[in-house]
Amino acid sequence: MTSPTKYWQMQILPIGEDVKLKHYREISKAKDFFKRQFPELIGKCILSKDENQQVQTILWKLFHSTDDIYQSAMAGLCLRCYVSHRILISCKLIPHIYNVNAENLFNYTDLLSLVLNDDGKTLIIIDTKTKTQYKLNHHDGKMQAIAKGGEFFSVDILRRFNPDLGHKESLDNWTTRLTRQNENIKSFLWGFGLATPSDWGLLCKLGPRSLSQLLPMEDQEIIKAFQTVYQRDRLKNQQKGRCLEPTPNQLQEILKLLQKINLNFSPQQLIVRLKYIAEILRQDWLYRKSGYIKTVSTEVYNNPTNDYFDNPKLPYYIDSNPEDVELAKLQETCQHLFEQTLYQIVEEVIQQRVQELQKSKGYKNFAQLFPEGLRLYYQENKSLNEISKIWDIDWSKARRIFQLENFWI
């Protein structure tokens, strides 16, 4: 469930000194276009899932239509407004994904300038064949191609989205996925050593040509033994996705291969050595991808014990307890159900109040204004006194119209 205002209110920069402060621009021409296309929805405070999906499908088809370029640009503008809200949410989630809050590495507002580059002031159309974005001058109908590197990320999301695909991925999920995969976002995260392949993914996919330039012969032999066993089992079991830590049986087989060339380790020593090699590979990967080099190693070599231990200079980190993860998921599900129920109740109360006003002789003229009045009160933070002046009525009459006690929770 979502508010229709998201189709004409765009999240823009700057976000404001208070990172919790919402900073958006209401685009009147987008609102007027939405009102013409969906007159039956303009007065609703909340759109149902089906209504929202229908709106997106219609706007997407208009955006990709070549029949009327102005209508195409306006439909795109409404969708750009909607996408901007999801980009903001996606950026808020990224720091939590990598558990960086405690380390104060960065804030989600640091990410916004990398992807929230649309201010809604320009009408845009796209050429799907050349993937080119064009600025549209509404007054003379002329188009100007946007130079490479200056494209709007929101428009690129819409260009690549297709609601008619078989998997039917929602625009929300699509926007979240592309935001996380954005090259600017990834480069930013790589600067902190984040969003890199796992240790086992690096070891599994490393090509033989790279070994001699990075690692001594002993480490090269360890990787060869690891890949012999690990890659064979992944192909045999048709495993896809993230590479997991080798199983005890795999470790034993790797150890036997190494013993044949007089390299002897315990299983724990082998794991430590593999992770150490993976960290070297990760630093090389980061440098090739972004030019960044991590100057602090995650592990330190101890000569007396001939072993590696966690670098004390790095923040102490413990994997989340599985029970804590399950509890967090349960809390998230409960929160979602609560919000869903709350939205439904609020919508029912609003519709009930509108019907009551329609039946009242003295207040029926305010029935259609009631949802907009609630928006002014709750979103624009306008007082009843200010709203009464806008509507040119007494404050006491505004109070009787709103009956705000019905919305206290």
| pLDDT at res. 292 | 57
pTM above 0.75, yes or no: no
| pLDDT at res. 303 | 54
| pLDDT at res. 302 | 57
Which uninterrupted H or E stretch holds 175? helix 171-181
- The domain spans of the chain are 4-190, 199-310, 333-407
Local mean pLDDT, 10-residue blocks, the chain (409 residues): 90 61 81 95 88 92 90 96 94 80 72 91 89 86 87 93 68 91 86 77 72 80 92 83 86 94 92 89 76 52 55 44 58 75 80 87 85 82 85 85 68
| pLDDT at res. 308 | 53
| pLDDT at res. 313 | 44
Q: Report residue 291: phi and psi, to 5°.
A: 85, 0
| pLDDT at res. 307 | 57
Question: Are residues 11 and 24 in contact, defined by beta-carbon separation less than 8 angstroms?
Answer: yes
Q: Report residue 6: phi and psi, to 5°.
A: -65, -15
Q: Report residue 135: phi and psi, to 5°.
A: -80, 135
Q: Taking Cα atoms as reference points, which of 407, 391, 399, 300 lies closest to residue 345?
A: 407
Residue 300 makes CB contacts below 8 A (sequence gap 6+) with 308, 309, 310, 311, 312
Q: Taking Cα atoms as reference points, which of 135, 130, 132 lies closest to residue 77?
A: 135
Residues written for the chain: 409
Question: Are residues 383 and 395 in contact, defined by beta-carbon separation less than 8 angstroms?
Answer: no
Buried/exposed 270-295: b ≥16 CB within 10 Å, e otherwise:
bbbbbbbbbbebbbbbbeeeeeeebe
